[in-house]
C-alpha cells in the first residue's frame, strides 16, 4: 500500500495532536464558530493525550513494522468501496475501472489486502468521499466545524461522513465484536502514522489555526482540483508548502541500521 499519509486523513486526526490552542489573533470568515470549535479542539486533545496517543505508541513499539504495513494495507483495501462509489457519483468512469481493478488485484493477489501488488502494476490509489462528491455537485462547504472525537470538518463534509459510513463494508458486519474491533484498530493505525507528524507541529504557534487552514485548503483542492491522475503528488506539494515534510512511503520495511564491527 502507498502508506504516504494522505492529507485528508491527517486533517481528520491532526486536531488530536499538539498543545492546547492559543487565543486567535484575528477572526477567519470561514470559521464563525471559532470559540466553540476551539473548545472542541481542546476536548479532543485531552482525549488524545489520555487514550489514543498512548495506545498508538504501544502499538508501534510492540508491533513489527511489516505487520503495521499489512494492517494499513488491509484498511486501505477494505474501505476502498467508498472511493469506487464516489467515482461513479462524480462521473469518473475511467478512475472507477482502475479503482475496481485495484480492489480486485489487492484482494486476490494481495491476500485480502495485506499486500499491495496493484501499485507496482500502475494502479494508483485515489481518495474520494461523499463530502467531496457533494462539493462537485455544487453544495457549498459551509462554516468550518470541529466534530467531537472526529476532528476537522465543515458542514458539508459532516453530512458527507454519513455516506462514508454506509459505503464502508464494516458497517454491514453483523458481529459487533468484529465490527467495533476493526473500527478501533483502524483508528489506532491512523493515529500511529501521525506520531512522527506530531513532532513536526511542535513549533507551530497556533496549532488550531494551522490545522484549520490545511484542512480547508485540502478540501478545496479535492473538490476543484482533485481530478488529477497524481493526487498524492499534489497533496505532498501542499504539505511542503504548509511547512511539513511529506512522510515517505512505507510499503517496504526500512533497511536495518548498520552495525559497527566488534
Q: What percent of the chain has pLDDT over 70?
A: 76
The pLDDT value recorded for residue 200 is 73
Is 246 within 8 Å of 240 (Cβ atoms)? yes
Q: Is pLDDT at 2 greater than 50 in this prediction?
A: no
Please report the pLDDT score of residue 216 as a whole number: 95
Q: Above 60 in pLDDT, residue 242?
A: no
How far is the C-alpha of 102 from the C-alpha of 68, rounded, in Å? Answer: 21
For the chain, the first-to-last Cα distance in angstroms comes to 38
CA distance 242 to 57: 26
201: closest CA among 26, 63, 45, 54? Answer: 45
- Averaged pLDDT, 230-238: 50
- Mean predicted confidence (pLDDT) in 126-135: 95
Sign of CA dihedral 28, 14, 241, 231: negative
Amino acid at each position: 500500500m502507498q502508506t504516504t499519509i494522505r492529507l485528508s486523513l491527517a486533517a481528520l486526526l491532526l486536531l488530536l495532536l499538539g498543545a492546547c490552542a492559543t487565543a486567535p489573533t484575528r477572526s477567519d470568515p470561514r470559521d464563525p464558530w471559532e470559540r466553540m470549535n476551539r473548545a472542541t479542539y481542546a476536548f479532543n486533545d485531552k482525549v488524545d493525550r489520555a487514550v489514543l496517543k498512548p495506545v498508538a505508541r504501544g502499538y508501534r513499539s510492540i508491533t513489527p513494522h511489516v505487520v503495521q504495513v499489512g494492517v494499513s494495507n488491509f484498511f486501505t483495501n477494505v474501505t476502498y468501496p467508498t472511493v469506487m462509489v464516489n467515482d461513479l457519483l462524480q462521473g469518473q468512469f475511467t478512475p472507477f475501472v482502475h479503482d475496481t481493478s485495484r480492489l480486485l488485484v489487492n484482494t486476490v493477489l494481495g491476500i485480502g489486502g495485506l499486500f499491495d501488488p496493484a501499485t507496482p502494476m500502475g494502479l494508483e490509489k485515489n481518495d474520494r468521499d461523499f463530502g467531496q462528491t457533494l462539493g462537485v455537485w455544487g453544495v457549498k462547504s459551509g462554516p468550518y466545524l470541529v466534530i467531537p472525537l472526529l476532528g476537522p470538518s465543515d458542514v458539508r463534509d459532516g453530512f458527507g461522513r454519513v455516506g462514508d459510513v454506509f459505503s464502508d463494508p464494516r458497517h454491514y458486519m453483523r458481529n459487533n465484536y468484529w465490527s467495533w474491533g476493526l473500527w478501533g484498530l483502524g483508528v489506532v493505525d491512523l493515529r500511529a502514522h501521525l506520531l512522527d507528524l506530531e513532532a513536526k507541529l511542535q513549533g507551530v504557534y497556533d496549532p488550531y489555526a494551522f490545522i484549520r487552514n490545511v484542512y480547508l485548503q485540502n478540501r478545496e483542492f479535492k473538490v476543484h482540483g482533485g481530478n488529477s491522475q497524481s493526487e498524492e503528488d499534489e497533496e505532498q506539494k501542499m504539505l511542503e508548502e504548509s511547512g511539513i515534510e511529506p512522510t515517505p512511503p512505507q510499503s517496504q520495511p526500512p533497511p536495518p541500521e548498520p552495525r559497527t564491527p566488534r
